[in-house]
Amino acid sequence: MGEIFSELKNEILVILLSAAPVSELRGAIPVAISLGFSPAQSMALAIFGNMLPVPFLLILLNPVFNYLEKINAFRKIIDWIKKRTLRKSEKIRKYKIIGLFLLVAIPLPTTGAWTGTIAATLFNFKFKEAFFAIFLGVIVAGIIVVMLSVQASSLFELI
């Protein structure tokens, strides 16, 4: 019983880590592999967790941003988030949905599903288009991160 609880606890940890805006699946996959999950399990858990907040964000970000911009204490934060995202979103401006996909798919710091969702909101993408582009981007990013993580863990085994 304790073994099942421990396994479930680790799965929840990976899902929550990949749902978080800073770590996303880029942080969750290496953690999952280090916890003993297979690369396929790691990727599946991380993709699930990374996509978990996306539909809610696509629906709620615009109204939340509009509301918070009316409150002086939050206006500067929302403005900073928008400016930062727009700076990272030149590909989206140029390539639309393909640019959104690329923003999410290339696993670099400050890119990913959260930034992609904010960008999709700022550029007024339709829900289905944005969700699909972000989902495909998350899958590609997951594949890249798994490959890099497996290579890194193989390297550490040699040392």
What was the pLDDT predicted at 54? Answer: 98
What are the structure tokens assigned to 116, written together?
């992609």
Q: What's the whole-model pTM score?
A: 0.89
User: Which value, in Å, is the radius of gyration of the alpha carbons in the chain?
Assistant: 17
Cα-Cα-Cα-Cα torsion 51, 52, 54, 60, nearest 10 degrees, comes to 180
The whole-number pLDDT of residue 128 equals: 97
What pLDDT sits at residue 89? 78
Stretch 108-128: mean pLDDT: 93
Given a contact cutoff of 8 angstroms between Cβ atoms, the answer to whether 104 and 138 are in contact is yes
